[in-house]
Amino acid sequence: MPEPVTQQAERVLSLWQGSWIAAFGVGILVWGLIIWSVIFHRKRSDRLPPQVRYNMPIEVLYTVVPFVIIAVLFYFTARDQDYLLETDEQPDVVVNVTAFQWSWRFDYYDAAAIQAAGDVDLLARPEAFGDIAELPEEPHGEPTAEQEAAHEAAVAAAEESAELAESLPEPVATTVGEPGEAARPDLYLPEGQVVRFNLYSPDVIHSFWIPAFLFKLDVIPGQINTFQVIPTTPGTYEGRCAELCGVDHSQMLFQAHVVEGDAFPAQLAEVAAANPDAPPPGADDENEIRSGGPAEEPEPQGGTPGGTETPGTPEGEPSSEPSQGGAASPETEPTEGSAQ
Q: Model confidence at 313, in pLDDT bands (50, 70, 90)? A: very low
Q: Model confidence at 168, in pLDDT bands (50, 70, 90)? A: confident
Q: What is the average pLDDT score of the chain?
A: 79
pLDDT at 290 exceeding the cut of 90: no
| Higher pLDDT among residues 179 and 311, named by residue | 179
What is residue 280's predicted lDDT score, i.e. its pLDDT?
65
Tell me the pTM. 0.71
- By the 8 A CB rule, do 197 and 55 touch? no
What is residue 257's predicted lDDT score, i.e. its pLDDT?
95
**How many distinct helices (H) and strands (E) make up the chain?**
6, 10
Percent of the chain residues topping a pLDDT of 90: 39
DSSP 8-class letter at 90: P
What is residue 167's predicted lDDT score, i.e. its pLDDT?
66
The residue extents of the domains of the chain are 7-43+52-84, 93-124+170-290
SS3 for 106? strand
- By the 8 A CB rule, do 231 and 5 touch? yes
What is residue 125's predicted lDDT score, i.e. its pLDDT?
79
SS3 for 91? coil
pLDDT at 97 exceeding the cut of 90: yes
Across residues 13-22, what is the average pLDDT?
Answer: 92
Architecture of the 93-124+170-290 domain:
Sandwich (2.60)
Closest to 197 in 3D by CA, of 179, 183, 213, 181: 213
Across residues 188-206, what is the average pLDDT?
Answer: 93
